[in-house]
Amino acid sequence: MKKSIIYAIVFISILGSACAQSMPEVELTQEWKAKIESLAPEKATFPFKKKKKVLVFSLHTGFWHWVNPHTEAMFKILGEKSGAFDVSSSTDLAMMEKDQLKEYDMIVFNNTNSKPNYRNLFVDKLSENGGMDSVAVWKKAAELEKNVIDYVKKGGGLFVIHGGNTTLNNSMEFSRLLGGSFDYHPKQQPIHVRLADPKHPLVQAFPADGFVHTDEPYFYKNAYAELDFKPLLYFNNAEIEAQKKGQELTEGVTYVAWIRKDGKGRVLYSAPSHNAQSFENPDLLQFYLDGMQYLVGDVKVDETPIGK
12-67 confidence digits (pLDDT tens): 333 333 334 678 888 889 999 999 999 999 999 999 999 999 999 999 997 677 67
Q: What angle do CA 163, 199, 293 make, to 5 degrees?
A: 50
The answer as to whether 135 is a domain residue is yes
- On whether residue 6 sits in a domain, the answer given is yes
CATH of the domain at 268: 3.40.50.880
Is residue 58 within 8 A of residue 17, CB to CB? The reply is no
Please give the tally of structural domains in the chain: 1
Averaged pLDDT, 232-248: 92
Domain-embedded: residue 162: yes
Q: What is the C-alpha R_g of the chain?
A: 18
Which pLDDT score, from 0 to 100, does residue 18 have? 37
Domain encompassing residue 129: 2-295
Q: Please indicate, yes or no, if residue 302 is contained in any of the structural domains.
A: no
> Is 120 a domain residue?
yes
Does the residue 305 lie in any domain? no
pLDDT tens digits along 170-207: 999 999 999 999 999 899 899 999 999 999 999 999 99
Residue 83 lies in a domain: yes
Cα gap 161→70, rounded to integer Å:
12
Residue 99 lies in a domain: yes
State yes or no: pLDDT of 4 exceeds 60: no
Q: What pLDDT shows up at residue 248? A: 86
